[in-house]
Amino acid sequence: MNETVAVKPEELHDLIQNKLEKAGLKKEHATEVATHLVFADACGIHSHGAVRVEYYAEQISKGGVTLDPKIEFEKTGPSSGIVHGDNGVGQYVALKGLEHAIEMAKESGVAVVGISKMAHSGALSYYVKKAAQEELIGIAMCQSDPMVVPFGGKENYFGTNPIAFSAPRKNHEPVVFDMATTVQAWGKILDARSKNKEIPNTWAVDKDGNPTTDPYAVNGLLPIAGPKGYGLMMMVDILAGMLLGLPFGKHVSSMYDDLTEKRNLGQLYILIDPKRFTNLEVFKETIDSMVTELHSIPPANGFDQVYYPGEINQISYEKALASGINVVKNIYDYLISDDIHFDYYENTNAFGEKK
């Protein structure tokens, strides 16, 4: 088990912001990335929290992110638009895009807003939760590095292309569900390696496209539910990539390949104002009723209770705000050190391994 340190969210925020500013990011951008990463860690999405800072710092230092991007919103219709992100840091560009989408959805009932050209945008739940806090339904999806075999294939093609969904509730925080379209993230395979444990043969394939239980033999991840997840990742690539004229499938840039190159990634929001379809208060109460009904379903063997989809992240978030965020000790040590980065990620493969 990795040793962890309990860190107050504000302290973690300041450490991350400081490190990213030292790497070259503007204060306004660094503070937004820090807010986002602290949110992810607080939600228990540690794959997209402080663990990313060293990579971001290296990418920022080496020119992979535009430090002073000209972010422009092009309104293409009453309910549609594109935010040109100029490859600014992903979390900041994605937030600016969301702000335009929220304004548009409130005005016209629906907003479909694409973000064209940005760096890695992190955990999508961050964005859709904000939309639901504005009493909108939120859907977000984005492209990511090609590290997944197509159903029945031997070579990687699509990314782990995540999808997130949110809806407002009457008396509680919104429901937020957020998932990659792969069975497991690469981080889970790294974890199995560190513990010298086999992985289930449903997670990944080796270089011949055969399911593997050896975490060291993994060459590609598997889509969730075979052809169904495969279809979803295609949908994401079409909506968050091709629709915006961006590279798609295996042409999407790899996170670590060349840290001096901009990533040109795409993201898409679909926001819906429930008021345009039904009574908002009744709608929010109905979501509360659904949650109550789900909670009342007796748990199956091996489960403690039924949670609504995504609830475990909300529980983790509330706990973290009260009692601190558990940060892996070596990440904490890096954050409090004077080092900006260790030149680790350059020229690693899609999985962050040395080539």
User: Counting contacts by CB under 6 A, is residue 309 touching ligand NAI?
Assistant: yes
User: Counting contacts by CB under 6 A, is residue 212 touching ligand NAI?
Assistant: no
User: Counting contacts by CB under 6 A, is residue 32 touching ligand NAI?
Assistant: no
Residues 92 and 302: their CA atoms lie apart, in Å, by 41
CB under 8 Å to 49, separation ≥6 — which residues? 37, 38, 40, 41, 325, 327
Which amino acid, 55? Y
Q: What's the closest the beta carbon of residue 143 comes to ligand NAI, in angstroms?
A: 7
Ramachandran area for residue 166 (φ above 0: left; ψ -120 to 50: alpha; else beta): beta
Q: What's the closest the beta carbon of residue 51 comes to ligand NAI, in angstroms?
A: 12
- What angle (nearest 5°) sits at the alpha carbon of residue 87, between those of residues 222 and 341? 75
User: Counting contacts by CB under 6 A, is residue 47 touching ligand NAI?
Assistant: yes
Site for ligand NAI in 133-152 (CB under 6 A): 142, 144
CB under 8 Å to 145, separation ≥6 — which residues? 159, 160, 252, 253, 254, 255, 350
Strand, coil or helix: 225: coil
Only segment of 95-103, 174-182, 214-222, 285-293 that touches ligand NAI (CB under 6 A): 174-182
Active-site pick, 29, 84, 100, 120: 120
Only segment of 127-135, 179-187, 239-247, 276-284 that touches ligand NAI (CB under 6 A): 179-187
Active site residue 120: yes
User: Counting contacts by CB under 6 A, is residue 336 touching ligand NAI?
Assistant: no
User: Counting contacts by CB under 6 A, is residue 69 touching ligand NAI?
Assistant: no
Q: What's the closest the beta carbon of residue 336 comes to ligand NAI, in angstroms?
A: 26
Write the DSSP assignment of 325-343 as a string of letters: EEEEHHHHHHHHSS----S
User: Counting contacts by CB under 6 A, is residue 205 touching ligand NAI?
Assistant: no
User: Counting contacts by CB under 6 A, is residue 81 touching ligand NAI?
Assistant: no
Q: Using CB under 6 A, which of 49, 88, 97, 122 touches ligand NAI? A: 122
Nearer to ligand NAI, 104 or 176 (CB): 176
Q: Using CB under 6 A, which of 91, 160, 212, 326 touches ligand NAI? A: 160
Q: What's the closest the beta carbon of residue 120 comes to ligand NAI, in angstroms?
A: 5
Q: Which two tokens stand for residue 203?
A: 């997670």
User: Counting contacts by CB under 6 A, is residue 177 touching ligand NAI?
Assistant: yes
Residues 28 and 87: their CA atoms lie apart, in Å, by 16
Residues 16 and 21: their CA atoms lie apart, in Å, by 9
Only segment of 73-81, 98-106, 269-277, 303-311 that touches ligand NAI (CB under 6 A): 303-311
User: Counting contacts by CB under 6 A, is residue 311 touching ligand NAI?
Assistant: yes
Q: Using CB under 6 A, which of 66, 79, 125, 254 touches ligand NAI? A: 125
User: Counting contacts by CB under 6 A, is residue 164 touching ligand NAI?
Assistant: yes
Write the DSSP assignment of 106-157 as a string of letters: HHHSEEEEEEEEES----THHHHHHHHHTT-EEEEEE---EEEPPTT-SS--
The structure tokens 């997670």 sit at 203
Q: What's the closest the beta carbon of residue 270 comes to ligand NAI, in angstroms?
A: 15
Nearer to ligand NAI, 103 or 288 (CB): 288
Question: H or E segment at 268?
Answer: strand 265-272
Q: Using CB under 6 A, which of 7, 20, 45, 175 touches ligand NAI? A: 45
The pair phi, psi for residue 97, each rounded to 5°, is -60, -40
Residues 83 and 98: their CA atoms lie apart, in Å, by 9
CA atoms within 13 A of residue 240's CA, in its CB half-sphere: 33
User: Counting contacts by CB under 6 A, is residue 174 touching ligand NAI?
Assistant: no
Nearer to ligand NAI, 104 or 189 (CB): 189
Residues found near ligand NAI in the complex (CB under 6 A): 45, 47-48, 120-125, 142, 144, 160, 162, 164, 177-180, 185, 307, 309-313
Q: Which residues are catalytic?
A: 120
